Amino acid sequence: MKLGFRGKIYLGFFSLLLIQGLVIFFWVSHVVKESMLEELKNRGISIGISLSARMVEPILGMDFLRMKVLVDETVQLGDDIFYTFVLDEEENPLIHTFKQGFPVALKTANTVLNNQKGSIQLLDIGGQLIYDYAIPVILNDNRLGTLRLGLFRTRAEKAVNKIIIYVVVTIIVAILIAGFVGTLLLNPVTKSIKKLHESSEQALMGNLDVRTAPLLKRTCWETMQCHQKECPAYKNYHHRCWYLVGTLCPDCVEGEYAKKIDSCQQCEVYKRCSGDEIQTLAESFDVMTLSLKDNLSDLKSAESILNEQKDLLQMILDAIPDFISLQDHEGRYVSVNRAFCEMLDKNKEDIVGRVNDDLFSGNQVEQYNREDKRILETGIPLVKENRVPGPKSPKEYPLLKKIECLDPKAQNGCMW
């Protein structure tokens, strides 16, 4: 089963929202992650530089108590700080914050040269990712030692993941809200299109009294304070005045829609009452069915008149005692009078639509066909005496006249 118009709109709408949400999600995730990690790096460098400057005096005086206080205070600045320790100029540990002994492998895990401000290494210690910062402790270009600082990257990533979750929830809520609002906006459109489809099917089945457009909420006679009851737009709640012919508005151009629409667009009624594209389509459809209904009524009246004239003409022809027939350019009999039928002793229904070969026999068929062909080719009438065999005995008719007839479609025929 194919997806309907309503389903296609909803599918396209929510697909766009979903794609937009995914793009925002990946973009925000990338930006937040990069920003958080960069902020973590900058924070570690800032703490390390500050702490290395404060370590100069305790290292010179070998004040281990003061150094211990400084490293302990640093670790307590945040739960993302894993360790802090100080190495002397020979890379021997002076003080550290490890409770279970100093891990010797950390000494050479990250080194910094004298001419560097610092060095950052990403270390994996037991499933934990650590940013290790090595900052030289320098006094007057003399290196006193090295400060080492470790910050958890894993905890920063957890913070990033938490932010991403908030972003995802926000995007989902935004999509749901947008979908709800979109549904409210799309429902009238899809209902109008469905109504238009149903009305078109009704029109195809012959019901031209269908009404697709909604009733007018603001009318032209109320807007213009007009009370001309003889105007075709007055009290007409189904059709806009610019679609109707013969309106009595003094500013309205006479004629049909195509002639008056340009002037109507400048009218106050049009500016206030014209709807959107869907409503305009529905109103145009209603006017089209109204016009078709009027045209069909005119055609039925014309058909009735033509049938009356046809019956009258046939009555006149039947009253004439002469034999009268009309053939088309292919030689088929189109119309005959009563005398012609009596001559052949056949009903009219048995003659109309037939050719000479069906009605006559012998040499008469060849003679009549030859005469008809010559008349159609030359246009010269044929006048002669003729003998026509009747049903019981031959009858002689003193005069036969065949002439060419021209119909409006330029298809020649002949009458005799």
pLDDT tens digits for range 318-351: 888 888 888 888 889 988 988 888 888 889 888 8
pLDDT for position 232: 81
Per-residue 3-state assignment (H helix, E strand, C coil) for the chain: CCCCHHHHHHHHHHHHHHHHHHHHHHHHHHHHHHHHHHHHHHHHHHHHHHHHHHCHHHHHCCCHHHHHHHHHHHHCCCCCEEEEEEEECCCCEEEECCCCCCCHHHCCCCCCCCCCCCEEEEEEECCEEEEEEEEEEEECCEEEEEEEEEEEHHHHHHHHHHHHHHHHHHHHHHHHHHHHHHHHHHHHHHHHHHHHHHHHHHHHCCCCCCCCCCCCCCCHHHHCCCCCCCCCCCCCCCCCHHHCCCCCCCCCCCCCHHHHHHHHCCCHHHHHHCCCHHHHHHHHHHHHHHHHHHHHHHHHHHHHHHHHHHHHHHHHHHHCCCCCEEECCCCCEEEECHHHHHHHCCCHHHHCCCCHHHHCCCHHHHHHHHHHHHHHHHCCCEEEEEEEECCCCEEEEEEEEEEEEECCCCCEEEEC
Q: Given a cut of 70, is residue 159 above it in pLDDT?
A: yes
**CATH class belonging to 320-415:** alpha beta
* 5-160 against 320-415: fold identical: yes
| Predicted structure pTM score | 0.48
Q: Are 108 and 24 in contact (CB under 8 A)?
A: no
Mean predicted confidence (pLDDT) in 286-298: 83
pLDDT tens digits for range 76-99: 988 888 899 999 888 899 999 998
Listed by start position, the domains of the chain span 5-160, 220-298, 320-415
pLDDT for position 134: 92
Q: Are 238 and 181 in contact (CB under 8 A)?
A: no
pLDDT for position 258: 63
**What confidence category does residue 388 fall into, taking pLDDT thresholds of 50, 70 and 90?**
low
What percent of the chain has pLDDT above 70?
A: 93
pLDDT tens digits for range 20-59: 888 888 888 888 878 877 887 888 888 888 999 999 999 9
CATH of 5-160, one of 3.30.450.20, 3.40.1160.10, 3.40.50.10300, 3.30.499.10: 3.30.450.20
Q: Given a cut of 90, is residue 149 above it in pLDDT?
A: yes
